Amino acid sequence: MTGERAIGIDIGGTGIKGAVVDLGTGELVTERIKVRTPSGGRPADILRATGDLLAQVADLGHSALPLGVCFPAIVKHGRTLSAANVSDEWIGLEAERLFERELGTGIHFINDADAAGYAESEFGAAHGERGLVILTTLGTGIGSALIFDGAVVPNSELGHLQVDGGDAEERAAYSAMERDGLTWEAWAQRLQRYYAHVEFLFSPDLFVVGGGVSKHHERFLPLLELATPIVPAVHRNNAGILGAAALAARF
């Protein structure tokens, strides 16, 4: 894909980000443009804000490119089946079709964690890795992506695995560390329980850990005892953009 370019848009609960990506290098060709996610995260408002962002990218002279959009929801056949940090009105919508109508072009539409996992596979910590790679993002919850031999296995939702009697993300997400005032060592004990459980269920070849806290990976990853290598993600804030763009060009 040397020299090939695509646009990636990453829709989150607080911001909508987009840029043009060089698919040979994984670098942003333009500045990363960001607009605030409208309060309440309702469909009409997010569609309009995404259209405004795409218009800004087009103004930079990059209008006729493949377009990928990633979204914080389970995405199945273009329909959003859940809603994380956006309005529940998204649940059950033909979201891909609505975005295509608003943006005036075809898109590749995918879950945001899946896009981030694909970005790490193509351009980051899992580049060249064969077999099963599991990316987890540690933040308000635990997002996840399964990449097998470079192909995305969509909508894994591993943050909702049951560990110690509840959703794993309730005890092991970064928000739990902050909420409960845990030390790095105490939080790592919870992460150990979580990753050991995932390792037992899936026998992955590599774990990649993303989310903003991954910039402090030296404080907690060395405390984990796993048979599977576990490494920090390379692309944190740009991962969704990169993955969405790369998938749009591939499909």
Looking up residue 211, the CATH number of its domain turns out to be: 3.30.420.40
- Whether residue 228 is contained in a domain is answered as yes
Total number of domains in the chain: 2
The pLDDT value recorded for residue 152 is: 93
pLDDT tens for each residue of 191-221: 999 999 999 999 999 999 998 899 999 999 9
pLDDT tens for each residue of 222-237: 999 999 999 999 998 8
- Whether residue 218 is contained in a domain is answered as yes
Whole-number percent of the chain with pLDDT over 70: 99
Domain extent, residue 97, equals 5-114+238-250
| 108 and 146 housed in the same domain | no
Cα 251 to the chain's mean position, in Å? Answer: 18
Interatomic CA distance for residues 203 and 190, integer angstroms = 19
| 67 and 26 housed in the same domain | yes
pLDDT tens for each residue of 94-109: 999 999 999 999 999 9
Torsion over CA of 182, 184, 188 and 189, rounded to 10 degrees? -50
| 56 and 91 housed in the same domain | yes
- Whether residue 51 is contained in a domain is answered as yes
| 36 and 110 housed in the same domain | yes
Whole-number percent of the chain with pLDDT over 90: 91
| 81 and 105 housed in the same domain | yes
Task: Answer positive or negative: Cα dihedral of 213, 189, 199, 218.
Answer: positive
Q: Is 3 a residue whose pLDDT tops 70? A: no
